[in-house]
Structure 1
Amino acid sequence: MPTESAYPKLDIPNVDLWTFLFERKDRSFPDDKVIYINPDTKRSYTYGQVRSTALDFGKGLKANWEWKKGDVLALYTPNCIDTPAILWGTLWAGGIVSPANPGYTAEELAFQLKDSGAKALATQKPFLQTALEACKKAGIEEDRIILIGDEKDETAKFKHFTNVRNISGATRFRKAKIDPKKDLAFLVYSSGTTGHPKGVMLSHSNIVANTMMIKVGEGGNLSWKGGKDGQGDKIMAFLPFFHIYGLTCLIHQSIYSGFTLIVMPKFDLEQFCSHIEKFGITFAYVVPPIVLLLGKSPVVSKYDLSSIRMMNSGAAPLTRELVEAVYDRLKIPIKQGYGLSETSPTTHTQPWETWRTHIGSVGRLLPNQAAKYMSPEEKEVSAGETGELWLKGPNIFLGYLNNEEGTKNALTADGYFKTGDVGHQDKDGNFFITDRVKELIKYKGFQVPPAELEGLLISHPDIDDVAVIGIQDHEQATEVPRAYVVPKKGVEGNKETEKNIVDWLAKKVASHKKLRGGVRFVDEVPKSASGKILRRVLKVRAQEEEKKGEKAKL
């Protein structure tokens, strides 16, 4: 029998996100509660300012561009305190938001713009050139590109979002009518083993449900008031807002529960530690490579991090050694959670009180869900036995955009999502993730599809055949991509050729897709009779190479 969540069932309202966040009757914190702070410029938004800015922007969209229900606004920006207002203003106008990685090349961004059918793009001034190139490829007019952040375009060619929202006559517009369970709020892109990223369709109800589920998972340990300064919990926000982890756990949870986010555009260890000390940060969502730095880097010793009451690690498995190293050094407890883009994302988290007694577990199943582990023959296995995790609940996505086959393979007729992750649960309801069915490489939480890199590498003039796998780099606590290359006849498989290949690919892909695991030269790529790459054979070879001391090249 499937495992049902042990938490009491939540009464999830059938409302759109705007209504859920800004028309609620149960909000305990005031309008002037500060929610988002830029620690560098000190610019901030209170709850009331987010609401009014979003409302103005949503009306501006309708007035400027005759925005229609279902139109997609893409985001191509690092973390910014303007992002939340842009998100909810678009949703108010009936639109869908599709956030993209600001590390994308023009080609990668253009694919997402075209696949999502984006009608407009919001970016920041330093990213304009790549945005322009991508929009040109995707057929988006230049006057549909707007800027957010502190820098404006001095030529006034590209409007700042504050100009889009400040338009006369916009007061006549009304909020779009939304069917929460069917209408999309977000199109987030999750890489697939077939190469191109897949558009994960998340409804308003999916995000409403998961926001409420996360609050239950944190068990009332986080508060909008109290603490040393009476200003409540302050959360460090460096996880990218374009990723579902940051989108829900940071942006939505903060405005729903009244927490203050200290928003970093990207991770920098020195600034991370400095902000914790300066602002009295009490909680942080992190990933294993950050935990590793906290346990080992000498930079950490320069700062007082004692305000941190708990950290939550996700996006990749976390080892006992890392957890204990940080606690021994800093006395900061670290619990784990689990989720995927397709689950909005959080499905499991460890209760605060069990962080040490169940290190290695991703925690317990959050409310309103059912889960089961399945054998390769799709038969349910018993507690303690290993299988693929299947999940069901109100947070499960609606399917992949423009991808019927992918949707059919991921979702069962009775509503279960096949996660592709392998693990087990113990007799007490603690869940464990030990491996992945999927071939995706996870570099510091970012997904890297091997087939995409192989498709690019095969076009290199020195390469006859190639396969890409993920190898574990223990020093950084993450997987890194490595290419196994069959060189063209007459090409030597030496260090010079390796460097040429690594540098060549680096110019064509986002930073997280670089061949940090280096290149190994082989006589042939192992394949099945049907031509499928046998990655497991290469993984065994990589393990043998590691034993011989051939470490990942970083």
Structure 2
Amino acid sequence: MDLIPSSTRCWSWGSETNLPIPVIDLVSFAFGRSSEYDENRPIFIDARNTSNFITIRSAKALVCKLCKGLKTIGLKDGDCVGIHSYNNILTPVLFLGIIAAGGIVSGSNPAYTPRELSHHFATTNTKYLFVHRDCLNAKNQRECAENEAWLTSECGLSPETVFQFDDETLIHARSNQNSTREDISPLSPVPAFSDLLDLFVRGSQEWQHNHEDDKVLQKPAIYATTSGTTGLPKAAVIPHQYIVAQAVMLEDQYRPRVGQISQLITLPVFHAFAAQLALVLPLRTGISTYFLPRFHLEEYIDCISRFRITDTPVVPPIISSLVQCAKRNGKSEEIKNKLQSLRNIVCAGAPLSYAMQKQFCDCLSLQCHVRQCWGTTEVGWVTLWSMTGRDQTGSVGHLTANTQLKLLTADGTAVTNEGDEGEACIRSPSMYLGYRNLSSSGPPVDAEGFYHTGDLAYYKDNKVFITGRIKDIMKIKSWQVSPQEVENVILEDPRVADCAVVGVTHEDEPGMDATLIRAYVVRGGGQLGDEDLASAIKTRVSSELASYKRLTGGVLFIDEVPRNAAGKILRYKLRKF
């Protein structure tokens, strides 16, 4: 592809595909093709209990009920409504129902500790919350879960604004289909989500369709948690257009495929990667979508085999687990047989080497394509490998529809030669609107409308290759982790005078690079020896932060944290220790 000029001054490479983005609200868009499919066929299916499912018809009815219910209990336009849950077939309904009512959705990680949840709810200014009962008894929240008031006592939510749901919610809702109640009875503390649905069992099309006003495209729909590049997690403001544009791009790839497609979702749908596949795409394309609450290797393999799954999104740690499982005790042929139905695997979270792809492909049918994807929370999917042939280059794929890429050197000069490295900057219809209550922090969108990702990349033969990072952020098991967040927790220990956290590379069993978090600590006061203090620091981090933020790379004691004249930590020097 030739280098093309962007619409402003800077040079960029552009996607070969340009697709029109309809001017329409997200909810109307999501159901816009429903008449093309059998609306009574299960579309969202509980992989653990397939009798628990949602059809396109019932999804629309549930969204209408939820929309009316939320408006009636007082939800105002622009209020944030949280979803604290593992994957569940109700998640797409909640997602669309909240947005239909004028709310803004924000999903939180079930692995979060009370400290992290409190920060999340404060950052997003959450007014209402839907919580799955399994999350109330999560191990890292046990002290708060002795009674169901932990959300209110720790996170500042009123009991009457917190709604519980579980895997029986739909069964309960179906048993009350003949009810005609439309009054609101007193809600008990931490009421059930099904109580809210029961208020409006008849339902009606409550959301406001908008096919003309382009302002609807820039209306916020999601607060997506992201570590950005520094500091504590932030709330990226995601508008309707971002989600519609991503769905249009994926529809263009999925709708022409021949045969019945079924996908298995085990990655968290509050994350920007899996969300694009799980929440709107099934309603637009009729893809049967099975949900597992979270990833368990044996269960995941069993579901692929049992339901003849054709599509599934993964991250590199899942690929590593599958490869190790295939090698263990000579199970290669057994695993390959169970994965025979797979035809389309999309991998994101970190670049996947060709060597690792080859090992993984040895476990799969020759008809299965492993497609790398690269993107960010702020701009969605940026690249995706095609469905033709297997990649042998290690590229993260081709630019997605309507996307432009420019590369900048360290001094801000535009890269104009294929193969030359620079910071990847992206412009597309899927652009965030900034961070909530933060006007100038995090990666910038420049004057030409390009988002600066902090990733180093080069472009060659119509493909994008990611080579590293220019920012401090670490990728741990495909999760973004800010060193500063971990450092802040360590520095709360009075026996620590200073510290710095870095990611160190470790090669796992199949030969895939993994990042471990290591803390370099300058001792303060106290009588503990190095070993005991290191143990205390690890315990503190484990108790205050999610499990993937633990100090798996250990604690090392140093005399001084290297910093520049401005006080910035020189992390590259620590990696040489």
Q: TM-score, normalised by structure 1?
A: 0.90
Identity in percent: 29
Q: Is 2:465 the partner of 1:413?
A: no
Q: In the superposition, relative to structure 1, how do residues 169 and 56 fare at CA in structure 2: closer, same or farther (>3 Å)?
A: closer
Alignment match of 1:82 (pick from 67, 90, 104):
90
**Deviation of the 1:218 alpha carbon:** 5.2
Q: In the superposition, relative to structure 1, how do residues 235 and 516 fare at CA in structure 2: closer, same or farther (>3 Å)?
A: same
Would the aligned equivalents of 2:13 and 2:405 in 1 still touch at CA under 8 Å?
Answer: yes
- In structure 2, the partner of 1:500 is 536
5+ unaligned residues in a row in structure 1: which ranges? 227-231, 542-554
- In structure 1, the partner of 2:467 is 434
| Structure 2 CA distance for aligned equivalents of residues 529 and 486 of structure 1 | 19
Q: Is 2:347 the partner of 1:313?
A: yes
| Structure 2 CA distance for aligned equivalents of residues 120 and 112 of structure 1 | 13
Would the aligned equivalents of 2:28 and 2:209 in 1 still touch at CA under 8 Å?
Answer: no
- In structure 2, the partner of 1:367 is 401
Alignment match of 1:13 (pick from 2, 6, 22):
22
What SS does the corresponding residue of 1:413 show, helix, strand or coil?
Answer: coil
| Structure 1 CA distance for aligned equivalents of residues 538 and 355 of structure 2 | 32
Would the aligned equivalents of 2:44 and 2:288 in 1 still touch at CA under 8 Å?
Answer: yes
**Deviation of the 1:12 alpha carbon:** 0.9
| Structure 1 CA distance for aligned equivalents of residues 569 and 493 of structure 2 | 19
Q: In the superposition, relative to structure 1, how do residues 200 and 495 fare at CA in structure 2: closer, same or farther (>3 Å)?
A: same
- In structure 2, the partner of 1:263 is 291
Which deviates further from its counterpart, 487-496 or 311-320?
487-496
Q: Is 2:430 the partner of 1:401?
A: no
* One-letter code aligned to 2:388: E
- In structure 1, the partner of 2:267 is 239
- In structure 2, the partner of 1:532 is 568
Q: TM-score, normalised by structure 2?
A: 0.86
* One-letter code aligned to 1:287: V
Would the aligned equivalents of 1:35 and 1:44 in 2 still touch at CA under 8 Å?
Answer: yes
- How much is the aligned-residue C-alpha RMSD, in angstroms? 2.3
Structural mapping, 1:138-157, within 5 Å? 138-150=155-167, 157=189
What SS does the corresponding residue of 1:136 show, helix, strand or coil?
Answer: helix
Would the aligned equivalents of 1:338 and 1:348 in 2 still touch at CA under 8 Å?
Answer: yes
Would the aligned equivalents of 2:66 and 2:196 in 1 still touch at CA under 8 Å?
Answer: yes
Which deviates further from its counterpart, 247-256 or 380-389?
247-256
**Deviation of the 1:98 alpha carbon:** 0.6
What SS does the corresponding residue of 1:140 show, helix, strand or coil?
Answer: coil
| Structure 2 CA distance for aligned equivalents of residues 240 and 247 of structure 1 | 8
What SS does the corresponding residue of 2:22 show, helix, strand or coil?
Answer: coil
* One-letter code aligned to 2:44: Y
Q: Is 2:322 the partner of 1:294?
A: yes
Structural mapping, 1:5-84, within 5 Å? 5-22=14-31, 24=32, 28-42=36-50, 43-63=52-72, 65-84=73-92
| Structure 2 CA distance for aligned equivalents of residues 536 and 326 of structure 1 | 32
**Deviation of the 1:181 alpha carbon:** 2.2
- In structure 2, the partner of 1:101 is 109
* One-letter code aligned to 2:164: L
| Structure 1 CA distance for aligned equivalents of residues 108 and 234 of structure 2 | 12
Alignment match of 1:284 (pick from 288, 296, 312):
312
| Structure 2 CA distance for aligned equivalents of residues 473 and 458 of structure 1 | 26
Alignment match of 2:497 (pick from 464, 478, 493):
464
Which deviates further from its counterpart, 480-489 or 197-206?
480-489
What SS does the corresponding residue of 1:507 show, helix, strand or coil?
Answer: helix
What SS does the corresponding residue of 1:399 show, helix, strand or coil?
Answer: coil
Would the aligned equivalents of 1:485 and 1:521 in 2 still touch at CA under 8 Å?
Answer: yes
Q: In the superposition, relative to structure 1, how do residues 93 and 458 fare at CA in structure 2: closer, same or farther (>3 Å)?
A: same
* One-letter code aligned to 1:162: S
Would the aligned equivalents of 2:339 and 2:363 in 1 still touch at CA under 8 Å?
Answer: no
| Structure 1 CA distance for aligned equivalents of residues 484 and 219 of structure 2 | 32
**Deviation of the 1:254 alpha carbon:** 2.1
- In structure 1, the partner of 2:231 is 195
5+ unaligned residues in a row in structure 2: which ranges? 6-10, 137-143, 173-186
**Deviation of the 1:32 alpha carbon:** 1.7
Q: In the superposition, relative to structure 1, how do residues 135 and 432 fare at CA in structure 2: closer, same or farther (>3 Å)?
A: farther
1:471-506 Cα distance to aligned partner (Å, 9 max, x none): 123216432211111223565664333222212210
What SS does the corresponding residue of 2:29 show, helix, strand or coil?
Answer: helix
Would the aligned equivalents of 2:375 and 2:383 in 1 still touch at CA under 8 Å?
Answer: yes
